[in-house]
Chains A and B, each alone.
Chain A
Amino acid sequence: MSDHPSTYVPKTGFEKWLDSRLPIVRLAYDSFVDYPTPKNLNYWWTFGGILSVCLAIQIITGIILAMHYTPHVDYAFNSVERIMRDVNYGWLIRYVHANGASMFFFAVYIHMLRGLYYGSYKAPREVLWILGCIIFFLMIATAFMGYVLPWGQMSFHGAVVITNLIGSIPLIGGPILTWLQGGFAVDQATLNRFFSLHYLLPFVIAGVVILHIWALHVAGQNNPAGVEIKSKEDTVAFTPYATVKDGVAIIVFLFLFSVFVFFMPNALGHADNYIPANPLVTPAHIVPEWYLLPFYAILRAIPDKFGGVIAMFGSIAVIFALPWLDTSKVKSMRYRPVMRWFFVIFVIVCLGLGWCGAQLPDAQVIPGLPSFTLFDGQLNSYLWLTRLFTIYYFVFFLLIMPWIGLKEEPLPVPASISEAVLAEHNKKKG
């Protein structure tokens, strides 16, 4: 916290010398050793640390892959295959990087849902939340451009579909699209600039992460009780308590990571991306990577091209506005008996959108069930199921959040973190 006085005492002569010139050891000590942490943090709070590890893994493996990759339409696919077959441990580094992206998104979604459930976006943490949203958006851009680099069929046609989204903007869309692609189609210029930006953006993310942590340390951490730190009794030191807890979670997370890398490295990918890009043939079924499926589903739910693009970007933009959409004074949904049910439905809807995004829009949801045509599609189709989910997604943020916050009768909120911890302890003892 900002009012947390520094307790760092330089011990050696060198530390004293450095401390009066660049107090970097003091900054690290105050931020990650003596930093007061709410003593009731549960394992959902370990995903921040996990995400730092994910970013580090992606940057390190990415820099190595760039040493062996060729960003050229004629060589990109083959250079990736060479990494897999000939470069020493290239297969390992590429599989870690490719699955690392999935692990990164898996962790970020849990991190965001944790913030949603425990009200971590509410005052005084609005800027902290928005910085997180910016990181998420940058992650999407980085992941998309990274997926284009192997120059397989999915890479190429995914790039065509997503860049064409920009082209749907009235009037200025066409020139912007040509500017973005550097030509009249996705081609060499597009691949080359995507490689450049894919290399750049992770460092931009790292920069925003520093701001995110800075904002976190100014406002102080939220916690499962959703009440602010009031006294020293409410906290423990970051080291060893939070560091070790984060460490345990990181080890468990790396186990999961390893299962994918070593036993099912292509489970989350798509077989079509092992076919070299061919601009003349589109794969029968284009799908993005799993972590972007919910947004892809929202895009397809809208019958109008530009409307679909607006809805897709709107589904991310609405997350930015969350601190001002929630009207409840209570942070943690532990004490919000009505809202927590809408939260559970929201999680199911997000998973449902992801499921729908992977299906053909015209396919039947329940095979064989008689149905009828509603407007432009069969009611018993993924098109209409997607629309149902899309409506809930927006209603959750734009209507349920403000309305339930005003109407709901919250449960009694504990006076302090200590009180919440003691109450739970006594309940467990019986």
Chain B
Amino acid sequence: MSEPDNTAAAVNDDPSRRDFIYIAAGATAVGAVGAIAVPLVAQMNPAADTLAMASTEFDLTKVQEGQQIVIKWRGKPVFIRSRTGAEIKAAQDTPLADLKDPQTDADRVKAGKEQWLILVGSCTHLGCVPTFGAGDYGGWFCPCHGSHYDTSGRIRKGPAPLNLVVPEYDFLTDTRVKIG
């Protein structure tokens, strides 16, 4: 035929063209929904200023032996504990077989600085702040659901699955640490 057939029947008889328009329109709609969803969902994630929260420095001379000081880092408490000789020995002598989340005490402190135990003070169960010096193992006791931690901050009893987290930190001098 020399002239294009523009009747409705002829248009409907061209299934590949119809299908193309349907698929193209559908794909565009799906893409648009995805593109709209990304910013709407992502805005809930930590903002740039929250992510940029600086590290914090701490003067260890403030902590007496056998005591701990709690500081705030990234909105969470950090325990800085000066352990007594007996506490260090108890932590080192614990057989790994007794542990729920096996880890040696040496892995949780800096070599030569065994006195200092630095931990994120947030129970690995549901995030409560464990109480210093309480519980069956002389470390910490979480008042919320009864988790017991030892003098290395390792989970010994109760619902918490993991040891208290050791944050990233470095000794700047013998008496000064930088956390984060």
Chain A residues packing against B (C-beta within 8 Å): 157, 160-165, 167, 178-180, 182-187, 189, 193, 279-286, 300, 303-305, 308, 360-362
Number of A-B contacts (CB under 8 A): 86
Q: Is B47 at the interface (CB under 8 A from chain A)?
A: yes
Determine the chain B residues whose CB is within 8 A of the CB of A279 once the complex forms: 72, 75-77, 129
A281 contacts which chain B residues (CB < 8 A)?
129
Q: How far is the CA of A184 from the CA of B131 in the complex (A)?
A: 21
Verify B128–A161 contact, CB threshold 8 A: yes
Residues of B within 8 A of A360 (CB): 146
Given the complex, which residues of A lie within 8 Å of B46, measured CB to CB? 178, 182-184, 189
Q: Shortest distance in angstroms between A170's beta carbon and chain B's nearest beta carbon? A: 11
B160 and A305 form a contact (CB under 8 A): yes
With A179-B44, A280-B129 in contact, do A305 and B143 touch (Cβ < 8 Å)? no
A–B Cβ pairs within 8 angstroms, 23 of them: A157-B144, A162-B126, A164-B125, A178-B45, A178-B46, A179-B41, A183-B74, A186-B75, A189-B47, A193-B44, A279-B76, A279-B129, A280-B70, A280-B72, A280-B77, A280-B129, A282-B142, A283-B143, A284-B143, A286-B144, A304-B159, A304-B161, A361-B145
B126 touches A165 (CB 8 A): yes
Please name the 6 residue pairs, one residue from A and one from B, whose CB atoms are nearest each other, closest first: A185-B75, A164-B127, A164-B126, A282-B129, A161-B126, A282-B128
The answer to whether A160 and B161 touch across the interface, beta carbons within 8 angstroms, is: no
Task: Give the residue of A163, A180, A284, A303 whose beta carbon is less than 8 angstroms from that of B159.
Answer: A303
Q: Report chain B residues within 8 Å CB of A282.
A: 128-131, 142-144
Task: Report if B175 contacts A (CB, 8 A).
Answer: no
Assign chain B's interface to a size class.
20 to 34
Interface residues of B (CB under 8 A from A): 41, 44-47, 50, 70, 72, 74-77, 121-122, 125-131, 142-146, 159-161
Which residues does chain A contribute within 8 Å of B129, judged by CB atoms?
279-282
Besides A184-B74, A286-B144, A304-B159, 15 new A-B residue pairs in contact (Cβ under 8 A), listed by A number = A157-B144, A161-B144, A162-B126, A164-B125, A164-B127, A178-B45, A179-B45, A184-B50, A185-B74, A185-B75, A279-B72, A279-B75, A279-B129, A280-B121, A283-B143
| B residues in contact with A286, CB < 8 Å | 128, 143-144
Determine the distance from Cα of A419 to Cα of B106 in the docked complex, in whole angstroms.
81
CB distance from A186 to the nearest CB of B (A): 8
Please classify the interface of chain B as helix (H, G, I), strand (E, B), loop, or mixed, using the class held by over half of its residues. loop
- Max chain B C-beta neighbours (<10 A), residue from A165, A189, A280, A362: A280
Chain A residues contacting B144 (CB-CB under 8 Å) are 157, 161, 282, 286
Return chain A residues, CB-CB under 8 Å to B47. 182, 189
Alpha-carbon separation in the docked complex, A165 to B122 (Å):
14
Give the complex CA separation of A304 and B41 in angstroms: 30
- Residues of A with C-beta under 8 A to B72: 279-280
Q: What is the CA–CA distance of A362 and B145 in the complex, to the nearest angstrom?
A: 9
The docked-state distance in angstroms from the alpha carbon of A280 to that of B129 is 7
Chain B positions within 8 Å of A308 at CB level? 159
A161-B144, A280-B77, A361-B145 known; A182+B126 contact, CB < 8 A: no
State A182–B41 Cα separation when bound (angstroms): 11
Q: Are B161 and A305 in contact (CB-based, < 8 A)? A: yes
In the assembled complex, the Cα of A279 lies from the Cα of B45 at a distance in Å of: 21
The residue on A at minimum CB distance from B42 is: A179
